[in-house]
Structure 1
Amino acid sequence: MKLENRVIIVTGGTSGIGLELVKSLSQRNEVIVLGRNASLLNELKEKYSVIPYQVDLSDMAQVEWAASEILETHPKIDVLINNAAVQYTPAFTSDDFAYHTISDEITTNFTSICSLTYLLLPALKQARESAIVNVNSGLALAPKTSSAVYCATKSALNAFSLSLRYQLEGSNIKVMQAMMPLVQTKMTDGRGQGKLTPISAANALLNGVENGVLDNDIGKVRLLRWLIRLVPSVAFNMMKRA
């Protein structure tokens, strides 16, 4: 799929990988950006001529509102990139763990993606060829010790993506995943080494979409998947300590 003259939705497009996607895609496409920060969305609108929607993806009423508003002006959508995610690192056993983050994390990282996909499916069906691109993580394949809910949402997203792909076989819609390694974003500040830059992550994602790669293992995720196949105990122990 050539990413030119398309209508493309990017969630979480005000920072990190999402921002780099917006910068690249807005040069040749009509880009709709969903994000929480109104001032950052306005900056994107002025600088890149995108169409902004302020929406908190942990609030299903706002998710439904955004989908309805988009469909009113865009009955045809070519690409939906589900990029937004949040991650809370405290363990359940930690005094820092906040109970309310469970529902926030699940809704933002998983439920909102299922809902946006369903609600926007009629518009995706109107394109000659279209794609749903779910930005996932190597943690979907093997979890780490911290961020148990985050790891679970990514694992659920992997299962959802595969099942939805089966459902849409033979249709005009491809269901793709970009399996990300550790990327240098606000979410990962102070954690890990050897992180991929957001621009490299975004470029790898876009290259995968244009080349029709359904499960795009980016960076160190390629090694992780290989280890899981050959020596799973090594892979899971490695990720446990990540």
Structure 2
Amino acid sequence: MPKSPDFKVRFTLDIKQGGGALSQFYLMDIGSCWKNNGQPCDGDVTTDVTRYSEMIINPTTESWCKPEDLRICPPYHTLPNGTRIHRTDKANFPYDAYHLYCAPGNANHLEKPHSLCDPYSNPQPQEILQILPHLAWGEYGYPTKKGEGWIGDPRTWELDVGRLSQALYFYQDPGTTPVARYWPSIDLGTEIYISNNEVAEWTVSDFDIIVPRGYKQRVGLRSRLQ
């Protein structure tokens, strides 16, 4: 199973139709599950938390994370060198790099202000971090500006998903051992909200999850050892 920070994802994506203005087209969508104390999920829906991170490349999707409304910004942004920038640092925090962040409803030590994730669309608490094309993600191979990889711009991507997923903020109880981040769900595609008969069409080819030698388990559609 892919583990942060040691894996990349490579694929070719050609988007023919994007699904309209309310289509959240994910260049990359990763998901996992662990408890707020860092322990693995065990089926207890009161303490298990599903965690998601998604890069939305529909250029009509705007950032909802604003310096004047910190509720839907993660508490901090981590640079590739490990430096953390708090969301109150208006001069340096990359607000436009984030669409939204929402926290798990069973977290007991959340920084204020905060916004909780929808408790009804999942059988257990969830945490969601959605990011947008921005220079902040360029070092990881992700798009740095709107329109890259969108309709009429087919591309082959090699995304350093492992290293980015290690740097992204996810809630954990203070004083607990940092969780080893494993990602059993790695995919791409769209969710279309309030559709008026919108159509999305895309092709994906040569999808590889690239992991270091020493991994013995085949992952996803196809994996390759380096």
Higher helix share: 1
TM over 0.5: no
TM-score by length of 2: 0.26
If asked which structure has higher relative contact order (CA below 8 Å, sep 6+), I would say 2
TM-score by length of 1: 0.25
Higher strand share: 2
